[in-house]
Amino acid sequence: MPPALMNPLMPPPPPPSVSVSAPPELEGSDDVSGRSVTQKRRFGDLRGLQWRVDLGVLPSESSTSIDDLRRVTADCRRRYANLRRRLLVEPHIPKDGSNSPDLTMDNPLSQNPDSTWSRFFRNAELERMVDQDLSRLYPEHGNYFQTPGCQGILRRILLLWCLRHPECGYRQGMHELLAPLLYVLQVDVERLSEVRKLYEDIFTDKFDGLLYQENDLSYSFDFRKSQDLLEDEIGSHGNAKVKSLDELDPALQTIVLLSDAYGAEGELGIVLSEKFMEHDAYCMFDALMSGVRGSVAMADFFSSFPVAGSQTGLPPVIEASTALYHLLCLVDSSLYSHLLDLGVEPQYFSLRWLRVLFGREFSLDNLLIIWDEIFASDNSKVEKSVDDNIDWGLRILHSPRGAFIAAMAVAMLLHLRSSLLATENPTTCLQRLLNFPENINIKKLLEKAKSLQARALSVDISSPSPLIIGYHLQSKSVMTRSQTLPSETVSPKTPVNLLTDSYWEEKWRVAHEAEELKQDGIEQQIPTRKKGWTEKVKNTLRRAGSDPPPSRIKNGKKESKVVRRNILEALHKALGPEEEAEQMDCHEILCKQENISEAAEGVQQNDNSKGDNSYSSDDRCPSGNTGIEESSSVYSDSTSPPNEANYHEITSQGSSVASNLYLDECDETADTSLSDPPLPVSDHPESIPETSESTDVDVDKSENIPQMSGCNNNDPGNSATHPKEKKQNKFQWFWKFGRNTVEGISGKVGAASEPTKSTSSCSNQSNSQPPVSSTTSEHFTSVSSKGDSVDQNVMGTLKNIGQSMLDHIQVIESVFQQDRNQGVSVENLSKNILVGKGQVTAMAALKELRKISNILSEM
Amino acid sequence: MVLVLALGDLHIPHRAPDLPAKFKSMLVPGKIQHIICTGNLSIKEVHDYLKTLCPDLHITRGEYDEDTRYPETKTLTIGQFKLGLCHGHQVIPWGDLDSLAMLQRQLDVDILVTGHTHQFTAYKHEGGVVINPGSATGAYSSITYDVNPSFVLMDIDGLRVVVYVYELIDGEVKVDKIDFKKTASIHTAH
C-alpha cells in the first residue's frame, strides 16, 4: 500500500534509489565479518570514532552504551569550549563588562607580561608561526585543508593547545599530527550525511504516536521509528527484507545512534557532529600529544629535554631513535652494522619519522591505515619486573603502541634494506632514507611491523641491554670513546682501550650475574665473584703489563687526567692482591683467608651499617667497593690483637722500604731486599701488577718502584713474609691515596720528568736516591715516628684513610659530573646511554665508598 | 583589529632632544600597524626612527619640517574608518573645533587628526572624532610653554575605535581611554 495513506505526515519516500544499492559495507553478506570486526574494533568503519576510542578520548570498554559515549563527548566539548573562552584573548572586548580599571597596565603598549594585551600579542605571534605552517599543509589535499574553515579550525586548535601547554609551545610538525585527525572526523561526518541521505526516514524525527516497542532493543530511537515507516523504507529499497532498524547493518545502526540528538546533553551530545568537529579534534590531538595514561606521548618527541624519570638522560625522541636501532640490531644486524659503518645515526631520519608519526613518508590514505594500527595498539605501560639495573629506560618500548611505532620504523628500514646496503656513503644512504618510496605495499609493511612489534616487546623484557652496550662499544669511534670514558683519554691507540672495553663489558656482565645469582644463595655467589675478579684482575694484569712507556709520558703531561687514572689504577691494584691470594701457596691461601674472615669480622664490628657480610656488599657494587672494602678489612684485621706484632712489622717495614730512599733506619730489611738477586719481573705474575701499576702511578713512582722491586726480591727468598709484603703494599696504596689527593690537587711536582726518574730508579737500585718531595718524606717519617704507640697510630691512620677516601670520592664524583656535562653534545647523545649507565653503577659504588669512609673517619 | 599610532610636533632637535625614554621603551616594533604623524618632526632622522617602529608611515607637513615633499593633508582608510591628517597650522584659529570640523567635512573623514597646538584634545563631533595628539616630546609651542609629552594610540576594530591617550605627567606615564563607536547609519547618511 502506498505509504502516504498509512501516514500522511510522513515525508515523501526517498528518491528512487533501487538501482543504487546500499554501499557494500551495508549489505547482509558483510554482516558476519562486520560483527567480528566490531568485536575487536567497535566502530571499525567510523575511523574518527574508532580513533577517539583508541586515543582514550572516549571510553574503550565495549560495554559502554551510546549514552555514555554521548556524555563523555559532551564533557570533552564543554572542556574545550571553556578553554577556548578562557585562552583566546580579545583585548578590546572587556571580559566582565566593566572597563579595565588599571589602564596603566592594560593598554596596548603595556610592558607588563601579564596584561591582556601582552597575552594578545603573544598569541598573535604564535598564530603567525602556526599560520606559516598551516598555509603549506597538504597542498595535494588543498581543496579541504586549505579552505578557510579548515585552516581556522586547525589554527585555533593548535593555538589553544600551545597556550595550554606553554612548556612545549608550538613546534613544526604538530600541524601534521593534527590534520589527519581532523580529516578523519570530516570523513566520518561525510559518511553520516551520506547514510542520512540513503535512509532519510530513520533520521527523521517522528512523534506521531505510532510507537513501536522493541523486544530486544530499547534504545532511544524507539521514539522515532515505527514499523510502517520502516516497511516503507524497505518497500522503497525493495532489495533487502529489513523488518526493523535492528535488522539493518549494525554499523548503520551505530551511525543512526551516534547522530541522535536526544538525551540529557542535547545537541552537544551528538557523537558525530559537524558542528563540534573542532572540539573533537582538539580532544583527540590533546590525547595524542599527552599520551593520556600511556607511555607514548607525542609531545615528548618535540621537546629537547629528557622527560622526568628518564634513565637515559636523553631527549625522548633520541631515546626512541636509540630504541629503534636497538630493535634493528636484533632483527637485522648486517643492515645495522652497515648503517653504523656509514655513521648514520638513527635520529638523522627517525626525528622526521617519529615526530609526525610517518606523516611525511606516506600519502594521507596510507597514513590513515598506519595510524589505525598505531592507535589500535595499547598505549598503556607493560608491567615489567625488571630491576632498575637492567631497565635501560628505553621508554618507547614499554608499551605496545611505542613498540609498534619503533617496529614500523624498522619495517621501513627493512623495506629499504637492499638499497641501503648498496649505499657507499652516508649522504646517499640518508637520501634514500628520507625519500621513502611512494608506491609501497602498505599491508605488507604493516604485517612486518606487527611481527616486529611482538619481537620488540618480548626482546625488551628478556634481554635488555647487553646488546646496547655492545652496540655502543663497537660503534664508538676512538674519539668519542675518549670523550665518554675519562680513564682512556690518555692514549687511544694503546691496547689499554681494547682491554678496558672488555673490562667494562666484563664488569657489567659480572654485575648481571651477581644480580641473577643473588637469589640463589651466597654459596654460589662466591665462585661467580671470584671468577669475575679473576678476569678483572687478568685484565688488570694485561692492561698494566702492556701499558707502554710512551703512554706514561703522555700520562705525565696530561696532569688533569692523572688523578682519575691514578684512582682507577689504585682500585685495580686493590683487586690485585686478592687475586694473588688465590694463586698463592696453600698455607698462604689459608692464612689470607683467615685474614679475610677476620677482616670481615672487623668490618662488621666497625661498621654496623652493613647487614650482609662483605661478600654481598661486594656484589652490590662490584666496581670499586670491593677493593676498598678488602683493603679496609686488612686494616681492621691489623687492629685485631693477634696481629698486632705483625702490624708493627708492617709499619716498620713499610716505612723502611719507603725510607730505603734515604736509608736511615731498619737497615737490615732494606739490606736483605737489596742484596737478594733481582729476578726478572715476568717470573712472578703476582708481582707484576704492583710494579707496573706503580710505574703507571706517576706521582709516587719515585718511592714505590724501589719498594716494589724489594718485593720482587723478597718473594722467592722468604715466602713467609710474603703476605706481610702484600699488606704492606696495601698500606702503601693507602698512603698513596692520601698523597695523590694532596698532590693531585696541588699539581704534580715534576710530573713530566717522573718517568725518566722512575726508569733510572728501576735500573739503578743500589743507589736509588731519587729526589722525593718533602711532603712524602715527612709523611713517612711521621708514620715511623707514630709507629711506637700502636693504638694512636691505628686511629690516626684510619682517620687519615677515611679522609683521603672522602677526598678521592669527591674527585671521582666531580669527574663524573664533568663528564655528564660534556656529554650533552648532540653527536654523542645516543651513545651516552652507556656512560650514563656506567655512571649509575659507579655512583652507587661511590655511595658505598662514602659510607665506609665516613665510618673510618669517625673512628 | 588594527593599532594606529598618532603623534606629532616632536620638534627634534630644535625644541626637544629626543622622545622621552619612557615613551621610547613603550614604542616597540611589531605591535603597531600604522603610524600617522601630523608633522614637525623636524628632521629626517625622526622619520627614520618612526619607520623602524612600523613601515606604514603617514606624515603631513608641519611648518618646520625639512622635507618639503610631505603633503599638506592626507586621508587614508583603515578598516571601516576614514582618517584625515593635517598639521593644523593652516586651520585658523588654531585648534578651534569649528574650524577643524570644517576641515573634517572637507576631507569627508570620520577621524581627523591634527596637531600644532601641542595640547592633547579629543572631541566627538557630528558622528566623528577630532583628535589632537599633542606633542610627543613635550616641546613648547608658540601658544604655551607648559606642555606635557603625549601621543595617541587608536585601536580600530570594526565600527569601534578605542583611543588610548598616553601622557607623561611628572615622569609617570598616564594612560586614558576614550571609546568611540561609529554607527553605520550616520556613515550612510553622509
Residue B120 lies in a domain: yes
What was the pLDDT predicted at A245?
A: 54
Q: Does residue A489 contact residue A482 with C-beta atoms inside 8 Å? A: yes
* Chain B residues within an 8 Å CB radius of A125: 30
Interface mutation target, options A88, A109, A119, chain B, most CBs of B under 10 Å: A109
What was the pLDDT predicted at A108?
A: 83
Residue A104: closest C-alpha in chain B: B175
- Window 20-49 of B: residues touching A by CB (8 A cutoff) are 25-28, 30-31
Q: Which of B31, B157, B177 sits opposite A109 (nearest CB)?
A: B31
Residue B168: closest C-alpha in chain A: A104
Per-residue pLDDT, averaged over B44-58, amounts to 92
Residue B80 lies in a domain: yes
Residue A324 to residues A329, A358, A409, A479, B23, Cα–Cα distance (Å): 9, 14, 7, 24, 56
A804 class by beta-carbon count within 10 Å (0-12 exposed, 13-18 middle, 19+ buried): buried
CA angle B141, B145, B146 (to 5 degrees): 115
Contact A107 B175 (CB under 8 A): yes
* Chain B residues within an 8 Å CB radius of A108: 3, 31, 153, 155, 164
> In terms of DSSP bridges, do strands B57-59 and B172-181 run parallel, antiparallel, or are they unpaired?
unpaired
Residue B46 lies in a domain: yes
The answer to whether residue A92 neighbours chain B at the CB level (below 8 Å) is yes
Question: C-alpha A292: how far from its chain's center?
Answer: 20
The Cα A267–Cα A70 span in angstroms is: 10
Contact B175 A121 (CB under 8 A): no
Q: Enter the C-alpha cell of residue A196.
A: 542520512
Residue B56 lies in a domain: yes
Residue A258 to residues A54, A71, A225, A270, A368, Cα–Cα distance (Å): 17, 12, 16, 6, 22
Residue labelled with grid coordinates 604623524: B37
The answer to whether residue A109 neighbours chain B at the CB level (below 8 Å) is yes
- Please determine, for residue B81, whether its predicted confidence score (pLDDT) is greater than 80: yes
What was the pLDDT predicted at B57?
A: 93
pLDDT tier, B166 (very low <50, low <70, confident <90, very high otherwise)? very high
B142-154 core/surface letters (b: 16 or more CB in 10 A; e: else): eeeeebebbbbbb
Q: Which of A92, A99, A104 sits opposite B173 (nearest CB)?
A: A104
Residue B131 lies in a domain: yes
pLDDT tens digits, residue range A11-61? 433 333 333 333 333 333 333 333 333 344 566 677 888 888 888 888 777
pLDDT tier, B9 (very low <50, low <70, confident <90, very high otherwise)? very high
What was the pLDDT predicted at B86?
A: 93
ipTM for the whole predicted complex goes beyond 0.90: no
For chain B, percent of residues with pLDDT exceeding 90: 49
pLDDT tier, B83 (very low <50, low <70, confident <90, very high otherwise)? very high
A105-138 core/surface letters (b: 16 or more CB in 10 A; e: else): bbbbbbeeeebbbbbbbebeebbebbbebbeebb
The answer to whether residue A128 neighbours chain B at the CB level (below 8 Å) is no
What was the pLDDT predicted at A201?
A: 64
The answer to whether residue A98 neighbours chain B at the CB level (below 8 Å) is no
Quickly list DSSP for A312-374: S-S-HHHHHHHHHHHHHHHH-HHHHHHHHHHT--HHHHHHHHHHTTTTTTS-HHHHHHHHHHH
Residue B160 lies in a domain: yes
Least Cα distance to A577 among A591, A561, A598 occurs for A591
Q: Which of B25, B31, B174 sits opposite A108 (nearest CB)?
A: B31
The Cα A810–Cα A232 span in angstroms is: 88
Give the ranges where A747-786 is alpha helix by DSSP (H).
754-763, 774-786
pLDDT tier, B130 (very low <50, low <70, confident <90, very high otherwise)? very high
Contact A103 B3 (CB under 8 A): no
Residue A467 belongs to what H/E stretch? helix A466-475
Q: Which of A104, A108, A111 sits opposite B155 (nearest CB)?
A: A108
What residues have CB less than 8 Å from A320, skipping those under 6 apart? A301, A350, A354, A394, A395, A396, A402, A405, A406
* Chain A residues within an 8 Å CB radius of B175: 103-104, 107
What was the pLDDT predicted at B104?
A: 92
What was the pLDDT predicted at B42?
A: 84
A88: number of Cβ within 10 Å: 15
The Cα A160–Cα A179 span in angstroms is: 15
Structural domain of B22: 2-181
* Chain A residues within an 8 Å CB radius of B26: 109-111
pLDDT tens digits, residue range A351-370? 888 888 888 888 888 888 88
Residue B153: closest C-alpha in chain A: A108
- A101 to chain B, minimum CA–CA distance in Å? 11
**What's B139's domain CATH number?**
3.60.21.10
Domain count within chain B: 1
The Cα A630–Cα A112 span in angstroms is: 64
CA angle A515, A519, A523 (to 5 degrees): 95
Q: Which residues of chain A have pLDDT under 70?
A: 1-44, 62-64, 89-101, 200-269, 293-294, 307-312, 381-396, 459-794, 815-839, 857-859
Residue B45 lies in a domain: yes
Question: C-alpha B24: how far from its chain's center?
Answer: 17
pLDDT tens digits, residue range A234-276? 334 434 444 455 556 666 666 666 666 666 666 666 777 777 8
- Please determine, for residue B56, whether its predicted confidence score (pLDDT) is greater than 90: yes
What was the pLDDT predicted at B142?
A: 86
User: What count of CB pairs under 8 Å joins A to B?
Assistant: 36
* Chain A residues within an 8 Å CB radius of B3: 108
SS3 B5: strand
Contact B175 A92 (CB under 8 A): no
What was the pLDDT predicted at B171?
A: 87
Residue B100 lies in a domain: yes
Residue A121: closest C-alpha in chain B: B31
Using DSSP, how many helices (H) and how many strands (E) does chain B show? 4, 11
- Window 79-118 of B: residues touching A by CB (8 A cutoff) are none
CA angle B90, B93, B97 (to 5 degrees): 100
